[in-house]
Amino acid sequence: MYKKSTSKWRRMISLSLVIALAASLMIGCGKKQTTNQEEKPNTTETTQKEEKKEEAKEEAPDYGDTGGLILPLTDKPVTLTMLVPTAVLDLEKKFAFQELEKRTGLTLDVQEVPESAYAEKFKVILASGKLPDIMLTGAYKEINKIAEDSNALVAINEHVDILPNFKKVFVDNPEASWALKSYSAPNGNMYMWPKYNSERVVNHGYLFRKDIFDKHGIKEWTTTEEFYDALKKLKEIYPDSTPFVSKLKESLFNRMSYGWGIKVPAAGGRDVAYYNEDEKVWKSSVTAPEFKEMLDFIKKLYNEGLLDPEFLTDTQESWSGKMAQDGKGFVTFDWVGRMDMFREQVKDTNPDYDLRYALPVGPVGQWLTLSKVSGYGVAIADNKNKELSLKLVDYLTSPSGAELMTMGVEGVTFVRESDGSITYPEFADKETISIKDLEEKYGMFTDGTYLRMADDCVYFNLSEREQEAADKMVEHNRLAPNDPILKFTAEEEDKLSELVPPISTAALEFATKYVIEPSYGEAQWNEWIKQAENLKIQEAVDIHNQAQKRFDQ
């Protein structure tokens, strides 16, 4: 995503650091000279100042759980710049940012960039050497590369002593402390501050037309065999239908592979190896027997007209049409929000339309667990404002900061009703409130300015169908354990970048042909195994296991 910094910029940064150091030494000397002129400290004045601080502390508003961070963060005029991707302008005038300024004592200069132009804008800013104090960046590997090439970003781990919320979440919490190991740079430093608690239990999965299933007495499946039987019955009732439809193209193989206990590449993905939880080793996913078993099952659906023959070419529009019409498509794999969205779209013409979440298919029958810790976040410029920038981001990671930036202020933007529900008075006429609604109205949920979601925020305010989906996956224990996120050396990264793309591309090409070509079977599978070996799949797997040994130490 980002280019390496030029030698010219390195020289500029080095010169800036020298100048900054010289300036700080001059300022330091001036302070020492002033101190030497004072023979004795004014103990009365010092005591009065301490008393005033204590009084101010006692009189400070209750902002909830700040994690131990003292607000305001400063009593001096300081402006921090933030670079964020958003379509909303003048964020500083929005309620959330005005309240954030009031609480922290900081002035915020938010630089809004359209999401579509953000990556390019960041490259330009990076090349200029004039970084904002706080910026949303790409994935952690990109941040680490930028930091090591330029020395322009703060190593967060070196300031844990002033960051109580970072310590609580990412150091002391076993649920998230792995991020320090997985997301840190090869030199051991952590340059990315990840988002925390920003995922639901499930966001995607198998969806089915419950109204059609109920109409014909078809049982919702719990096994792969029941899934197949349901599709067969639907095909018998609706001969012109293709019961299982998809707009995922080759990525359908990736989504379904979790149900077979492996993880194969999505389109453009790099998942050629998976972590075997039983054996505690990495294995090839694209030559695993489970991969062939899955392809055999998909091929069976394809040959019998149960899987849409256009599953590799369907667009969003054509797929939507099939799922919206009775007699065309009844089962798919998609985002859980689609259940309510489709129902809303067709309620006038088909008020009985009822799309629901179903369990994953396959012998393992699992789907991925969404991590509490994101793989991207914000970085902080290594400049004169770095300590205040760190503390501001630490506040945003606290329960208090999370509530402010994803809910607002109780009694002002939201109300806790007697039944425990959360309402937003200014959206009383709106049935469903989205995070975009709150961003446009209050400035909340602006990416790069919230680092944690409050448990009661609208993102976790699930609809009846979404809640049913989450409950179903938990009750049936269908959430797959996450693979370890490994940290590779520079040499290993280079080698994987050389090996993996050709393997991934060839694997998806083979999978596609295996499903749609009538002649493909055992012989072609064996040929694929040899092709993968020639592409050095085992070398890629070995690199994963080498990194795993370091991870386990």
Q: Where are the domains of the chain?
A: 71-199+375-404, 204-369+483-552
Choose among 56, 1, 44, 64: nearest CA to 416. Answer: 64
Q: Parallel, antiparallel, or unpaired: how do β-strands 273-276 and 204-209 relate?
A: unpaired
> What length does the chain have?
553
User: How confident is the model over 18-61, as pLDDT tens digits?
Assistant: 333 333 333 333 333 333 333 344 555 556 556 655 554 556 68
Nearest to 494 by CA among 29, 172, 145, 193: 145
Which residue has 């103990």 as its token pair?
A: 43
User: For residue 38, which phi and psi values (nearest 5 degrees)?
Assistant: -95, 115
- pTM recorded for the entire structure: 0.83
Contacts of 135 (CB under 8 A, 6+ apart): 82, 83, 84, 122, 125, 378, 379, 380, 381, 448
Q: Do domains 71-199+375-404 and 204-369+483-552 have the same CATH topology?
A: yes
DSSP-derived 3-state class of residue 110 = strand
Please give the radius of gyration of the chain, using alpha carbons only, rounded to the nearest integer: 27
Q: pLDDT (tens digit, 9 = 90+) per residue, 68-89?
A: 999 999 999 999 999 999 999 9
Task: Please provide the CATH number assigned to the domain covering 71-199+375-404.
Answer: 3.40.190.10
Does domain 204-369+483-552 sit in CATH 2.102.10.10?
no
Tens-level pLDDT at each residue, the chain (553 residues): 433 334 433 443 343 433 333 333 333 333 333 333 333 445 555 565 566 555 545 566 899 999 999 999 999 999 999 999 999 999 999 999 999 999 999 999 999 999 999 999 998 998 888 999 999 988 898 899 889 888 899 999 999 999 999 999 999 999 999 999 999 998 999 999 999 999 999 999 999 999 999 999 999 999 999 999 999 999 999 999 999 999 999 999 999 999 999 999 999 999 999 999 999 999 999 999 999 999 999 999 999 999 999 999 999 999 999 998 878 999 999 999 999 999 999 999 999 999 999 999 999 999 999 999 999 999 999 999 999 999 999 999 999 999 999 999 999 999 999 999 999 999 999 988 999 999 999 999 999 999 999 999 999 999 999 999 999 999 999 999 989 999 999 899 999 999 999 999 999 999 999 999 999 999 999 999 999 999 999 999 999 999 999 999 8
